[in-house]
Amino acid sequence: MYWLIEDMFKKLRHLPKVVVLDFIRLKQIQVGGIATLSNIIEFFRPMRIDIAFRNVDKCEAIKFLNGSGFLTQYDGAPQSMSDRISFLPLQLVEYDRSFNHVHNQLIPWLARTLGQDERALTSLKAGLGEVFNNIKDHSTVNVGCSASHYDEADDKITICVADFGIGIPGRVREKMQLASDQAAIAMACKQGFSTRTTPRNRGAGLHVLIQNVVARNHGTVIIHSGQGIFSCVHGPDGPSKGTGRSAPGRYPGTMIYMTLPKSGFVPDDIDEEDFQWD
């Protein structure tokens, strides 16, 4: 993914009229790659650079490219009915549409996939809302690419939301200097850390997302932004505090990649609950 991003941005220097994406050697792709490819295409679009596809139907990843809605979005190929169970198709989600996307598309698809009442997914709903609010508050762009997949054999749901905005390290460095991009992402995930990009913003969104996906539902959250990667996983002893590492390149924005094991999902209590302060 990083190699592709670097190569594509190098091509920009020559301001080509057309960039050809040749898929012939693509063996495998996941929702992160789909969302990133989509962001690249959308990034090129206002520059009037056309993207052409070559050998899509000859590559080994054709099933995923098709099922994910990527080819529907960019090549007009119809998505099959069977793919609609395994995939929530790729979408470009403007912030103003994100509430609808989370509440009326993502959550119903997740509820069907998990075999749960939608009301049992309120923690996930809030967590996914945090992802889009994070884009709105911190990224300087208004659109995120969202793609989701359920792999039944692997018991795993993956959800990816990516944008090509300023990125988390860029925002954090407006407030403090940190040694690395991964340290900046780790800081952004701490409860209470806020870049105060909006008045009364108190910094809890990424922390809440990690709590709801990793601690509560035994999933993982991996954040790629700038030259850093920050991963939170649920190990045998419980949720990790998160691990940072250098990326093999630079992600020009932020990609939030979440996985949920279907068997590890913990439904929320669907009954109303009396509020107690303590």
Residues engaged in binding another protein (CB under 8 A): 99, 119, 122-123, 125-127, 129-130, 133, 136-137, 191-192, 198, 200-202, 204-205, 207-208, 268-269, 272-273, 275-277
| Beta carbon of residue 263, minimum distance to another protein (angstroms, whole number) | 22
> Per the structure block, which two tokens stand in for 166?
């300023």
Cα 48 from Cα 50, distance rounded (Å) = 6
Closer CB to another protein, residue 86 or residue 123?
A: 123
> Per the structure block, which two tokens stand in for 231?
């991963």
Nearest Cα neighbor of 95 from 70, 119, 130 is 130
Closer CB to another protein, residue 84 or residue 207?
A: 207
Beta-carbon count within 10 A of 263 CB: 9
**Burial letters 181-219, b for 16+ CB under 10 A, else e:** bbbbbbbbbeeebbbebeeeeebebbbbbbbbbbebbbb
DSSP 103-122: IIIIHHHHHHHHT--GGGGH
